[in-house]
Structure 1
């Protein structure tokens, strides 16, 4: 799955996002017009977010309303889970470690080294599995 960045400023967000701490002045490390690979998706209380590598070179959860879909295909090996009704994360789907390890989501959001190692290993594995185009 790939997304094309349409916006990179908080003034394009839906109002529910401001409850997460974003403001209309928030600037995302994304380039308008650039295509980004999606590594996972989650439904938070405030809406759908996607896990991608932003222009800083680090993974992060980005509000989906900043993008349009460029490639609709979802990896066949993604897994899915749902949170409890009181959880901020209502549903999540993506690579196995994200689903099987309940602490991985938060550790990755906090850019903890062990979580980053798992993430980059997954990115490398997926990149190696992609067919080479002619």
Structure 2
């Protein structure tokens, strides 16, 4: 997915805690959708983290990419088999792409969804 040995995962900091907003499954690898303060969310390999709370948040949904015409290209191009997370991410492919590409409109939708779940 475009990573190399020199891939920089700034602005993450060692020793900090981050909320995981979604999971992405690629063969034997899992990536976390996280965000650092004042940054849009981005995908990071889970091997860079130590999981401190393994509970799955209420309201998360699951997408099997091979069975969804709009998400199937993720499997075909990157072998992403499943996406699990907040409903907007797993039900609106345009939102998923917007998060990956850091589209300002989709990042704002993410932020609105994030604030809504924090207040629940």
CA distance in 2, matches of 1:46, 1:71: 21
The residue that corresponds to 1:125 in the other structure is: 116
Q: Between Structure 1 and Structure 2, whose CA radius of gyration is higher?
A: 1
TM normalised by structure 1 equals 0.74
CA distance in 2, matches of 1:25, 1:113: 26
TM normalised by structure 2 equals 0.81
Q: Is the 8 A contact 1:31 1:55 kept in 2?
A: no
Q: Is the 8 A contact 1:51 1:62 kept in 2?
A: yes
Q: Tell me the number of residue pairs that the alignment of Structure 1 and Structure 2 aligns.
A: 110
CA distance in 1, matches of 2:39, 2:17: 14
Instruction: Say whether residues 1:27 and 2:18 are aligned partners.
Output: no
- Structure 2 portions without partners, runs of 5+: 67-74
- State the Cα distance separating 1:25 from its structure 2 match: 2.3
After superposition, where does 1:105-116 map in structure 2 within 5 Å? 105-116=96-107
Question: Which structure shows the bigger proportion of residues in strand conformation?
Answer: 1
Q: Over aligned residues, Cα RMSD in angstroms?
A: 1.8
The residue that corresponds to 1:86 in the other structure is: 76
Indicate the SS of the match to 2:18: strand
- Structure 1 portions without partners, runs of 5+: 1-19, 130-134
